[in-house]
Amino acid sequence: MVTGGAGFIGSHIVDRLIREGCEVVVVDDLSSGSIDNLHGSEGSTLEFVKGDICDEEIVSEALRDIDVVFHAAAIVSVQRSMSDPGFVNRVNVQGTSTLLRRAAEAGVRRFVFSSSAAVYGKTVTLPVSEDAPLKPISPYGEGKRQAERLCLESSRDSGPAMAILRYFNVYGPRSSSGEYSGVIRKFAERLCARRPLVVYGDGTQVRDFVNVVDVVSANVFAATTRGGVGGVFNVGSGRCTTINELAELETQLMLGSGERARLEHMPARAGDIQGSCADISHIENVLGFRPGVTLEKGLAVYLDAEFRTLRA
């Protein structure tokens, strides 16, 4: 079962599982995901359930005969967690609690939880390793920290074998547009419109951009590798990139190598983190995971696939 399987990351996980011959149940309320994201995976091995992961009855029914759960359903916006923390907490924490309880009752073997680098908060040392203190600075990050604790407690209490994946900045096809979309997509949309790129703060913020193809591989490793049981793993590229560097790279890829980014600086946003970059040595050593998509290659493929018509 893939919760949030019609969303950005979840639908890519579904694609991979279907290709490998798995029977997959997707649970998604379509509040942010789209059924269109699953059209490439249609067939007898995919069942779609429209529903809320906080709904005990829907979750219990969907978990029948499930061996592995990939829990990717969440409200992923830091900004929305600041403006509506109660709603985000209901989905990200209470929804996870419901799913864990019902998964234990259903006899699920393995549970892979999609967490976030937001649990670290403001890190002093980069790259950040899994044993760094957890000091989230947003309700979103705090909710993910609480959900991680629930996952580990469930596993200790005879629940499913657990693996927790802390995603850094994931990008790729199907990432959402609109108010809460990621910086890569926002930059691309403004470049298509020949508008300046909006940068919050001075642009020296550091991020670790990891391609969704690599994130899916990390999920599969976590679900199938013995070393994944009980583990907490960073999922990133291991490369630090500033927002200013990203702006220049996207500008060159979309407008030509001779172009320079036009930037419009705005005040830094509440809840934003200055530095975020993954130490991925643990997942490399334990699960054998190696990121295979460089930022330059991944961005070129993504921008061409998603924005070709707008660029024309």
Phi, psi of 119, deg, nearest 5: -65, -20
Which residue numbers are catalytic? 140
Q: Write the CB contacts of 178 (distance below 8 Å, at least 6 apart in sequence).
A: none
Q: For residue 90, give the DSSP letter.
A: I
CA–CA separation, 235 vs 291, rounded Å?
A: 9
Q: If 0-12 CB within 10 Å is exposed, 13-18 middle and 19+ buried, where does residue 147 land?
A: buried
CA–CA separation, 171 vs 177, rounded Å?
A: 12
| Exposure b/e, 59-70, CB count within 10 A at least 16 = b | beebbeebebbb
CA–CA separation, 212 vs 11, rounded Å?
A: 10
DSSP string, 188-246: HHHHHTT-PEEEESSS--EE-EEEHHHHHHHHHHHHH-GGGTTEEEEES-S--EEHHHH
Count CA within 13 A, CB hemisphere, residue 4.
23
Chain centroid, CA 209 distance in Å: 11
